Amino acid sequence: MNLDLTAADKKDRYKLLMSSILPRPIALVTTQDDEGRVNAAPFSFFNIMASTPAIVVLGIDSKSPGVPKDTVRNMQLTKEFVINMVSEEIVEKMSLCSSPLPAGEDELQYSGLSAAPSIQVKPPRIAESPINMECRIVEILDIGHDRNIVIGNVIHYHIDDQFYDAKNGYVLVEKLGLVARMHGKSFYLRSHDIFEVNRPEGSSSLR
């Protein structure tokens, strides 16, 4: 079977890609508007693109044609955001943050998550998240079809002490319990079953 995605129905194209590019990390993004009101929303069109500089990318669609989501609107206003990684302990609260609340209503309060102060940006980080990354906007690209690609520079990094080996500089990945998006609207993947494959000497890293 082979399919021409340029000719495929929008819904079919979405289902094919969402069921093939797996698993996808989840960024629970906190932003703040120009009145200081906090917004929190999860996105799985997310990944790291470079480490020097530290660049992350998000794909965010619009609420409706011509109406950006609060996350993008806040990013355009303040040029800042925080990525909060999602562990099993907060996955259900993360899901509540995707509820269609009125603009300006606090998803953190609604979901039972707690705001903690950031250091270099104004939007707060989420206290219950094991890792938080403070970011500044590099560019927001309008790619048409009511979708934006957000490029951010991670300028400050937080990790809960229990998940970091400070002596050796290692993140204790096995203890983090991060989750990822799978197919459909409601399927997720735990990160318990980690295995190692030795790479040839001199090869580039997959990390």
According to DSSP, the β-strands at 80-85 and 54-61 are unpaired
- What is the Cα–Cα distance from 94 to 41, expressed in whole angstroms? 8
Which domains are assigned to the chain? 10-190 (2.30.110.10)
Report pTM. Answer: 0.94
Full DSSP string of 8-53? S-HHHHHHHHHTTS--EE-EEEEEE-TT--EEEEEESSEEEEEETT
In tens digits, the chain (207 residues) has pLDDT values of: 899 999 999 899 999 999 999 999 999 999 999 999 999 999 999 999 999 999 999 999 998 888 899 999 999 999 999 999 999 999 999 999 999 988 878 999 999 999 999 999 999 999 999 999 999 999 999 999 999 999 999 999 999 999 999 999 999 999 999 999 999 889 999 998 889 999 898 776 665
DSSP state of 75: H
